[in-house]
Homo-oligomer: A and B are copies of this chain.
Amino acid sequence: MGGFTLFVFLTIFYICNAQDCVDTSDLCSSRTGLCDSIVGLQKLCPKSCGLCKDKLYKLTYFDLRARGEQIRWILEQGDANWEDIRIKQEDWPAIKPTTLTGQIPYLEVDGVTIAQSGAIAMYLARELGLSGANDLEAAEVHMVWETVQETFNSAGRAFVEQDPAKKQVKLKEYDDVSFPRLMKFLEERLENGEEWLVGKQMTIADIVVASFMDSQVWPKPLADLKASKTVSNLTSKVTSLPKIKQWIATRPVTDY
């Protein structure tokens, strides 16, 4: 079997390093092209190869951080060619019926629209080489995404609640159940001095956690979160990455 493996890896090496590699963008524009068929290829190729680099990602969301911000961080960290389309709240009722699910954010790429935050985040993770070393690690990344999102949703339910008594109940659920569960889950993943949440390299799992923690001026002040040293350290590490640091410093300023 060694011969087979060597043959395949030599093939990939040859493609990745070929002089005309920068001209392979035509392969990416077709949904049946090489880049899509062998989805691991892009990850194995050095970034300088330029394979699939010409794609334009158009992200549409409100002029808020909220559910859109984690995706913007992924696009920035992945060095993607992307457009940050921000719609006004007052324009939303007219736009809503034209969307796939009546919701934003959505991502447009290669003539296809992808709705739902998780689908967008995991798609971009794969495209930009931030989904881990293999499919099993990608599943772990997805698991982290879903667990963070449950906590985010719990905060969101409390945030939008207008009735003061009900709001207290929902905040209590967030404080006593959702948030501690997320912390326990994350701390266990980092407890053996692991540098990143999944595998040996940074993935969108780290980005999504850091983006969530960074947004927690409400309902829990960020200072409180520092009790969880490992998660706080991870957040600092991600927000100190040059591209994300630059994004935070220059992004549009919004309340939440």
A interface residues (Cβ-Cβ under 8 A, vs B): 1, 4-5, 7-8, 11-12, 15, 18, 20, 23-24, 26-27, 31-32, 34, 36-41, 44, 100-102, 109-110, 112, 114-120, 122-123, 126-127, 133-140, 142-143, 145-147, 181, 185, 188
Contact = CB atoms under 8 A, between A and B. Distances in A.
A109 B136 contact: yes
Contacts of A44: 37
Contacts of A123: 135-136, 138-139, 142
Copies in the complex: 2
B139 A114 contact: yes
Chain B CB within 10 A, most for which of A112, A134, A137: A134
Contacts of A8: 11, 15, 34, 38
Which 6 pairs between the two chains have the least Cβ-Cβ distance? Answer: A36-B134, A123-B139, A119-B142, A116-B146, A119-B143, A38-B40
Given A8-B15, A40-B39, A135-B36, A142 B122 contact: yes
A31 B147 CA distance: 23
A120 B143 CA distance: 8
A109 B136 CA distance: 9
Given A101-B143, A114-B139, 12 more contacts: A1-B24, A1-B26, A1-B27, A37-B40, A100-B188, A112-B136, A118-B118, A118-B146, A119-B140, A122-B139, A123-B135, A126-B135
